[in-house]
A and B are shown apart, each in its own frame.
Chain A
């Protein structure tokens, strides 16, 4: 499978990454080289093979539903681009 210029623009939209006009073709070509490598997978018979997500086959560990962290809002917001009154500021979303 390979992707063309319109695919790469759609992917850019999905991933929120701007693809400039001058880079679109080169990006698509590089990605197609990688997809060609990846396409070797298609030749493998994987009927009845269970997908492996965690390499050790481990299950997610659960914990009791109780408060385990202290409130460190000020420390975390100190690294934010913009905050006000304990809130993160972003451009206006609703008119």
Chain B
């Protein structure tokens, strides 16, 4: 049953082949049996899941229900869940039980979706390896001495290990696409504002975007249909109708022009990864798409611009964690200042502290223009590269990451090396464009991803291209060794 895709589970429930309670019990049992190895869940919500499943079965018996009614998923532990601890991977929020649901959580609940639990992540979504989680690292199901990527490493590993058919995730600089690539699954970061950020714990508000992870593009379309919405509670939510993302999945890709940026195939790209990506592009070409070499000349500036903008926004967003109203408070504070200092120093991990300090530096008097303003100007240049490229092409494609999954500890002492793993994913966040990753090969026995970057609001076409590729390839249905 766990080998069925989300789409197949939905169909099976509709045909009465099994009940939601049966599906939910199956996945819960699997999580309990196997997740000791992967550590992909922080919290398992067994009782609630079974109650939701029983309710979904009743609704289905009573009449017409949404496609995902009764299907189980998992939420990244960054989405607030009413009555269920939401830790954001941090000691700071280890005791935080929100009294409300994120809009994303509400949207899935309204569709009758069952929630198996909350997935592990880098602390406050700051990381590319899941090693910064207060709850310990997640193991990559393909090779357990390797990282699953981050920050949505728990969601990615749980889908790859068949512990859940799909999961929610968030992407600030690659946190959906990079772990999707490293764990051999499919993940989509929508256009900025397409998915509500309300109740999604903020890291860098002008970059953060929620999105789905699953095994196939078809499953992502089902997920995004529920996840995307206009939300008046999110001031940057898109006031646009949500299309049916399944509508054009099967459309022919012939005649489509796919831009291949030369900057994404330069120094630092693993040659075997490059070969896998080129093979995937050749498949799309075989289906009639036209490949066109393009240039995104400011690409090399995306990581530097990001490491000003993201920490600056983070230092402001994370100032709310001061021990006063929620989260961790130190023992016996001597005075207010001591409470702030010790609650934050004891509650945050090293990487989070580092980014807060960098952000504070970039925003401090005398440095604002040199760093923050400069980075926002470069951000426009990066966006303009894409805008001008999309005059000639319908979509952009390249590698998701320069390398397959690396071993634990390999980059944890070298922040800059870690940051450069996101070199191909960060620019889309700066530009607010949608991006996705889908499996396109194995290198050293580990998955690598093809990245698609779409024009604004063009998620439907990206899912179409990904689906057509997945009709002609089987990388997305491969399973990590040892997973039955």
Contacts and interface: CB of A to CB of B under 8 A. Distances in A.
A90 B339 contact: yes
Contacts of B315: 15
A56 B334 CA distance: 46
B192 interface: yes
B377 A79 contact: no
Interface stretch (B91-99, B115-123, B463-471): B91-99
Q: How large is the interface on B (under 10, 10 to 19, 20 to 34, 35 or more residues)?
A: 35 or more
Interface stretch (B146-154, B264-272, B325-333): B325-333
A46 B99 CA distance: 46
A35 B323 CA distance: 30
A37 B303 contact: yes
B206 interface: yes
B198 to A, nearest CB: 12
Interface in A6-34: 7-8, 11-12, 14-18, 27, 30-31, 33-34
A41 B375 contact: yes
B72 interface: no
A10 B236 CA distance: 34
Contacts of A58: 193, 236
B379 A51 contact: yes
A69 B292 CA distance: 52
Contact of A80 (B305, B325, B383): B325
Q: Looking at chain A's contact residues, is the secondary structure mostly helix, strand, loop, or mixed?
A: loop
Nearest to B323: A81
B348 A17 contact: yes
Interface string B359-380: 1111010010011011111111
A52 interface: yes
B142 interface: no
B361 A31 contact: yes
A84 to B, nearest CB: 13
A58 B95 CA distance: 36
Contacts of A39: 304
A80 B322 CA distance: 11
Contacts of B357: 8, 11-12, 15, 17, 27, 31
Nearest to B365: A14
Nearest to A23: B350
B329 A81 contact: yes
A60 B380 contact: no
Interface string A59-94: 011010000000010011011111000001011110
Given A52-B376, A55-B192, A80 B326 contact: yes
B37 interface: no
B301 interface: yes
A54 B236 contact: yes
A78 to B, nearest CB: 7
Contacts of B127: none
A91 B342 CA distance: 13
B377 A50 contact: yes
Interface string B398-421: 000000000000000011100100
Contacts of B380: 49-52
A55 B329 CA distance: 36
Given A3-B361, A12-B357, A17-B348, A56 B192 contact: yes
B304 A37 contact: yes
Most chain A CB inside 10 Å of its own CB: which residue of B319, B325, B342, B414? B325
Contacts of B322: 16
22 contacts: A7-B361, A11-B364, A16-B322, A34-B416, A36-B416, A39-B304, A40-B304, A41-B304, A42-B374, A44-B301, A46-B378, A50-B380, A51-B373, A54-B432, A56-B238, A58-B193, A78-B97, A78-B99, A80-B325, A81-B324, A81-B327, A91-B338
Given A17-B353, A31-B354, A81-B325, 6 more contacts: A16-B340, A18-B345, A27-B357, A42-B374, A56-B191, A80-B324
Interface of B: 95-100, 191-193, 206-207, 232, 235-239, 298, 300-301, 303-305, 307-308, 315, 319, 322-327, 329, 333-342, 344-345, 348, 353-354, 356-362, 364, 367, 370-371, 373-381, 383, 414-416, 419, 429-433, 456
